[in-house]
Structure 1
Amino acid sequence: MPGDNAKKALIDSLNGLLADLFALYIKTKNFHWHVAGRQFRDLHLLFDEQATEIFALTDIVAERVRKNGGGTLTSIGAIAGKSVIADDDRSALDALDMVRTLRDDNVTLIARIRAAKAAAGEAGDNATDGASDDWTDQAEQRVWFLTQILGG
């Protein structure tokens, strides 16, 4: 039977993932609002679609934290303290730089999801372990789309 340390590590990992989901959501929406150039329409719509997908995961991940007996993030400060995905306040960024930034951040997110999956395995949380495969697939699809825009 997994110990308290494994459960605490899982909760911490899930809260880190949750923070990164919020950070990536906000960055993706920022780019959605500020993208300009020849690919405006396509990128504006893609960024909005991806932001919606990312935001939908926040509640799911937070509920996994609660179901494991932990407390979730409570503020912007808590998000900032746990996130490894950096803020990006720029609004006048080249469209392809936006694409590159979001691609790289989704790669970072995949690593965080895989860490949560490993922690779930250690803690005996089969539900989080299984769900994380879907979260990984979604992030990998975002990386694939963004990579293809950059020319493969």
Structure 2
Amino acid sequence: MINIPTRRAANPSVYRKVFLVSTKSKIAADLNTPTDLAADGVEKVTKALNGLVADAFALYLKTKNFHWHISGRHFRDYHLLLDEHADQIFATTDPLAERVRKIGGRTVHSIGEIAKLQSVKDNNEDYVPPVEMLHELMDDNKKMAAALRKAHKICDDADDVASASLLENYIDETERRTWFLFEASRQEGANEK
């Protein structure tokens, strides 16, 4: 721990403590939330959860993109389904990011950082047929479920029961989205024949 002056104060001996974290980033004492978790566990959980936050934002935007650009006979059903899925995905971002902060970690700060961390691939095509949209989102949700399970193991290994518990609900929700997308894509594929 080192002390550095922060700003001019009535008492010039006022200093703010800055903690050096193993990731070599500096966390001001005001942001260094106390935790009983081991420092290396906090670092691993933080990295895993930040990856999930980035993927959730990427998957949210991809789902909204497809929601906005869906077409065809089942427009209304798919439009509403994808809107529901997007809302559910977006609802995970704040609790995941806050979990990082609760254990003293630093969470994502920007779209640029999300872009660096995301494993969900963007889709910038002008047109994607509905069945391809559903298949792509189904695959992305399957990968997200796998990432959630991997993060769950990291949380278990770090004795972070609260983060692991949070992830269990998200695994179930992600599997439900995968199921719905699978069934909808089968129906869409059958209708195209």
With normalisation by structure 2, the TM-score equals 0.76
Q: Which runs of 5+ in 2 are unaligned?
A: 1-35, 188-193
2:93 to 48, 58, 68: 58
Deviations 1:30-89 (A, max 9, x none): 000000011111000000000000000100100111011111111111001111001111
The alignment of Structure 1 onto Structure 2 pairs a total of residues equal to 152
Deviations 1:75-116 (A, max 9, x none): 111001111001111241000100000000001110111111
2:73 to 38, 63, 67: 38
Residue 39 of structure 2 is matched in structure 1 by 4
| Larger RCO (CA within 8 A; separation ≥ 6) | 1
4+ runs of 1 displaced by more than 3 Å?
A: none
User: What aligned pairs does 1:75-86 form with structure 2 within 5 A after superposition?
Assistant: 75-86=110-121
Deviation at 1:124, TM superposition (A): 1.1
2:177 to 115, 138, 142: 142
**Between Structure 1 and Structure 2, whose CA radius of gyration is higher?**
2
User: What aligned pairs does 1:61-140 form with structure 2 within 5 A after superposition?
Assistant: 61-140=96-175
Residue 47 of structure 1 is matched in structure 2 by 82
More strand by share: 2
Q: Which runs of 5+ in 1 are unaligned?
A: none
Once residues 92 and 126 of structure 2 are traced to their aligned partners in structure 1, the CA distance between those partners, rounded to angstroms, is 25
More helix by share: 1
Q: Percent identity?
A: 43
Once residues 186 and 136 of structure 2 are traced to their aligned partners in structure 1, the CA distance between those partners, rounded to angstroms, is 15
SS in 1 for 2:186: coil
Give the RMSD, CA atoms, in angstroms.
Answer: 1.3
Question: Does the aligned pair in 2 maintain the 1:19–1:82 contact within 8 Å?
Answer: yes
- Code of the aligned partner of 1:70: G
Once residues 52 and 95 of structure 2 are traced to their aligned partners in structure 1, the CA distance between those partners, rounded to angstroms, is 11
